[in-house]
Amino acid sequence: MRLPIPTWAIVATGLVLNVAAALMTNFVIDDLGEKATAVAERQTNNNQLIQLSWQQADALERRREAILVVLALTPTEIPVSESVAVTLLDAFTDMNDTPLTRVNMPSIMTRINDQQDLLRNKIDTLYLDNLQMAENQYEFNRQVSAYRNLALFLQVFGLALIMARDLNRKQD
């Protein structure tokens, strides 16, 4: 028994499904792809900031070592030259006028520790942001895959309906 559906309706339905698949690909999938790319770029930027922060924390540790070496090599009764002290303490704007002496060592070391703690907190925050963005990117990629599969199904089904016109002619 043959269904009384006009051939033009089947072909039109096939064309509509193909157009819907094309629009889905053009708007939905491309938009999700752009979002995933933006997330990947932000992750890359965060990774660069993490690397820079680690370098800064390491530089502070090297500065601490240099201060300790300078103080160890300087006799207790002779103060460290002002130019050396300024060079070693220039990373801390609030300590530019602080003399580099053994008496001031606890406050200098505390300041270095505080700066390193700030950098480590920044690194932790950026790392956690990257983890969240990785989850977001996974979700975007999952959605893109689902929409691509749906678009492919719509295209194949639409083409099958369009080809049904030719099959209908052969049966007549």
| Amino acid 43: pLDDT | 96
Asked if 98 and 104 count as a contact pair (C-beta separation under 8 A), the reply is yes
| Amino acid 108: pLDDT | 87
Asked if 162 and 11 count as a contact pair (C-beta separation under 8 A), the reply is yes
| Amino acid 57: pLDDT | 94
| Amino acid 95: pLDDT | 72
Other C-beta atoms lying within 10 Å of the C-beta of residue 151: 21
Asked if 24 and 154 count as a contact pair (C-beta separation under 8 A), the reply is yes
Residue given tokens 């990774």 in the structure block: 47
Profile the chain (172 residues) by mean pLDDT over runs of 10 residues. 71 89 89 92 96 95 91 78 79 73 86 94 97 94 93 90 71 53
Contacts of 33 (CB under 8 A, 6+ apart): 140, 144
Q: Which tens digits make up the pLDDT trace of 22-66?
A: 998 889 999 999 999 999 999 999 999 999 999 999 999 999 999
Other C-beta atoms lying within 10 Å of the C-beta of residue 165: 13
Say which amino acid occupies 28: V
Task: Answer yes or no: pTM beyond 0.85.
Answer: no
